[in-house]
Homo-oligomer: A and B are copies of this chain.
Amino acid sequence: MTDRILCGAKGRIRQTTRKEAKVEALLTYAAHIRKAASMSASATPVRVIEETPAYWRVVFEYPPFNILDATIFECLQDLLVRIYASQRLRVVVFESAIPDFYLAHFDLTGKTGNITTAVGPSGLPILMDTFVRLTKSPVVSIAKIRGCVRGGSSEFVLACDMRFASRENTRLGQPEVGVGVHPGGGGTERLPHLVGRGRALEIILSANDFDGDTAERYGYVNRALPDAELDAFVDALARRISSFDRRAIDAAKNLVNQVSLPSADRLLDAITSFETALTWPETQQRVQALLRLGLQQDVEFEKRWPDNLGTLLDA
């Protein structure tokens, strides 16, 4: 197997943003030097491990929390180029190297670059383009979930073809409404089809975390598995699918997509509405309150911040 580093020189996201992101990444890295010392020298936010030419593992390792920012989107865009170019690939498993964080949530400090203003190859904004091209790609995407995965990151796993979660270590949710906005990357469009209107509204309007068992019961994930069995289950499934013919997989996925993907019209409504909500003063007040309380800085707060949303403006 081979390790390759993504986020090369040809990234689609503005150079200025990338520079800022790199500076920030360096600062974060310094703050976690002890952890970093034990990591491979080739540590990079999104690492591809080619188990076989047909089966890749993609590992998020962007300390401290795997925050979903412009850097991650740039890496995912690069990955999609490689996925679409590969003729032998069948399955990509997305996982995290940071124990309690799968992919924490959309960056709330402004490091989102031009993901809502620049367009990707599909003609849609980068945020949507990334998720839409993942859903339509000719290969199978599997999210293997351990740790926190909220908001835009929940929308990332909803854009994967399948989701398998650790029973003991999953905190999955769409907390946006508790932050004064709403999901803007497909959550409001994908969840109702997956879990029905009632549970979709509960997930989105409660802004709560859902553990592995509840997520399975609701259909938010395919299955929750005991943490000790998760790796073996997903690996066996990925190897099995990777033995199948690429055009059979592509044709089957294409037919399912025809009856199960939201339209671009609906996704554009969501992103436009989300952009508007970000400008509301009450939203900014909530974001600032969360950042003051330790969001994206304090590991304990980062693990459980949705618990605070019901009383956020009381203090």
Contacts and interface: CB of A to CB of B under 8 A. Distances in A.
A241 interface: yes
A16 interface: no
A286 B182 CA distance: 48
A137 B266 CA distance: 20
Nearest to A242: B310
Contacts of A310: 239-240, 243
A204 B241 CA distance: 10
A293 to B, nearest CB: 15
Interface stretch (A39-47, A97-105, A118-126, A187-195): A187-195
Interface in A235-275: 237, 239-241, 243-245, 247-249, 251-256, 258-262, 266, 269-270, 273
A196 B197 contact: no
B193 A252 contact: no
A11 interface: no
A252 B205 contact: yes
A202 interface: yes
Contacts of A204: 252, 256
Residue of A180, A222, A244 most packed against chain B (CB within 10 A): A244
Interface stretch (A57-65, A66-74, A277-285): A277-285
A141 B293 CA distance: 31
A249 B162 contact: no
A313 interface: yes
A178 to B, nearest CB: 6
A309 interface: yes
A108 interface: no
Contact of A162 (B198, B245, B256, B277): B198
B198 A196 contact: no
A219 B199 CA distance: 8
A152 interface: no
A313 B270 CA distance: 45
A200 interface: yes
A162 B256 CA distance: 21
Interface string A213-232: 00011010110000000000
Which 5 residue pairs across A and B have the least CB separation, nearest first? A240-B310, A182-B252, A188-B255, A197-B260, A192-B260
Interface of A: 140, 160-163, 176-178, 180-183, 188-202, 204-208, 216-217, 219, 221-222, 237, 239-241, 243-245, 247-249, 251-256, 258-262, 266, 269-270, 273, 276-277, 280, 282-283, 286, 309-314
